[in-house]
A and B are shown apart, each in its own frame.
Chain A
């Protein structure tokens, strides 16, 4: 049940991206190009999504179990630190270069678009590289007795 719900959520999320036009990098770049002919659509996509999700979070705020009986696992991190800001800036630069972020990258792969697959492979390589660096760092920190 839990896994099926997860699949359907991903599916609906992806269909939403297609309907909204956000699976199309050209349209995303139209939003990010403030100095050109600006397409405000992405702002409305976010506004529409946030309005709906806000209700769900308000509902779940005090709950520890979901409707399926699973534990509620929401982020507890609150620090506004360097990794958050620096990482988000690095992500934004990549997003601006191609007009693709992780959700649309998966949808583009589903389109069978070669360019989407190339982007997805590079993105996964980037994330894997980051994981490796973090693991090495943790190991070094450990051997230094910290």
Chain B
């Protein structure tokens, strides 16, 4: 394995991770809920009375994050290499998969593992393995996808 030391950003990764953790921690301590983005979004697709505002607020917070960050510092560059066809296919898969599997990187990966949930650990191993395999196939077997 070849580590890309020039791309590795351990300090900001840990600080950003701790901030994500603090947000998820505050969410359980104050709101009593799991900060699982796919679940929070999914609940908005079949809205129930009294169950909309907190979900919409959390989503709005995520969307507003670049605006808030940009008010204090220059936003880091982002790069999306995937073309539109791949983005649409990927989006559909993520949309279906996270609902069928009841969670994503935040709900299973961060919150679930923090609670030592065997279910979340299995889910995280499954999506990580599938992610590694997909990138291997896309980048090393079919160059240019």
A3 interfacial contact with B, CB 8 Å: yes
Partner of B78, one of A25, A32, A84: A25
22 contacts between A and B (CB under 8 A): A10-B61, A10-B64, A16-B22, A25-B81, A27-B7, A32-B131, A33-B139, A34-B1, A41-B7, A48-B21, A49-B110, A53-B114, A60-B32, A89-B101, A90-B130, A92-B134, A93-B93, A93-B133, A97-B89, A118-B84, A118-B87, A125-B91
In angstroms, how far is the closest chain A Cβ from the Cβ of B107? 8
B48 interfacial contact with A, CB 8 Å: no
Interface size grouping (class) on chain A: 35 or more
For window 1-38 of A, CB contacts with B under 8 Å fall at 2-27, 29-30, 32-38
A122 with B130, Cβ < 8 A, contacts A66-B29, A83-B101 known: no
Contact check, A40 vs B3: say whether CB atoms are below 8 A apart: yes
A45 with B106, Cβ < 8 A, contacts A9-B35, A116-B80 known: no
In angstroms, how far is the closest chain A Cβ from the Cβ of B104? 5
B144 interfacial contact with A, CB 8 Å: no
Contact check, B91 vs A121: say whether CB atoms are below 8 A apart: yes
Interface size grouping (class) on chain B: 35 or more
Contact check, A68 vs B30: say whether CB atoms are below 8 A apart: yes
Contact check, A131 vs B114: say whether CB atoms are below 8 A apart: no
Binding site for B on A (CB under 8 A): 2-27, 29-30, 32-42, 44-57, 59-60, 65-68, 70-75, 77-80, 83-103, 105-113, 115-116, 118-131
Which residues of B sit under 8 angstroms from A52, Cβ to Cβ?
17-18, 21-22, 24-25
A96 with B66, Cβ < 8 A, contacts A24-B78, A102-B104 known: no
Partner of A126, one of B3, B86, B91, B131: B91
Contact check, B8 vs A39: say whether CB atoms are below 8 A apart: yes
Report B74-96 CB contacts with A as 1/0, cut-off 8 Å.
01111111101011111111111
- Tell me the bound Cα distance from A144 to B134 in angstroms: 39
Q: A56-B24, A123-B94, A126-B99 are in contact. List 14 more A-B contacts (CB 8 A).
A: A6-B31, A6-B54, A38-B3, A84-B101, A88-B108, A92-B127, A94-B95, A100-B94, A101-B37, A103-B37, A106-B41, A128-B45, A130-B96, A130-B99
Which residues of B sit under 8 angstroms from A72, Cβ to Cβ?
28, 32
- Tell me the bound Cα distance from A92 to B84 in angstroms: 19
Contact check, A101 vs B33: say whether CB atoms are below 8 A apart: no
Partner of B117, one of A75, A107, A119: A75
A80 with B122, Cβ < 8 A, contacts A20-B13, A87-B101, A102-B37 known: yes
A45 with B16, Cβ < 8 A, contacts A87-B97, A127-B38 known: yes
- Tell me the bound Cα distance from A70 to B75 in angstroms: 35
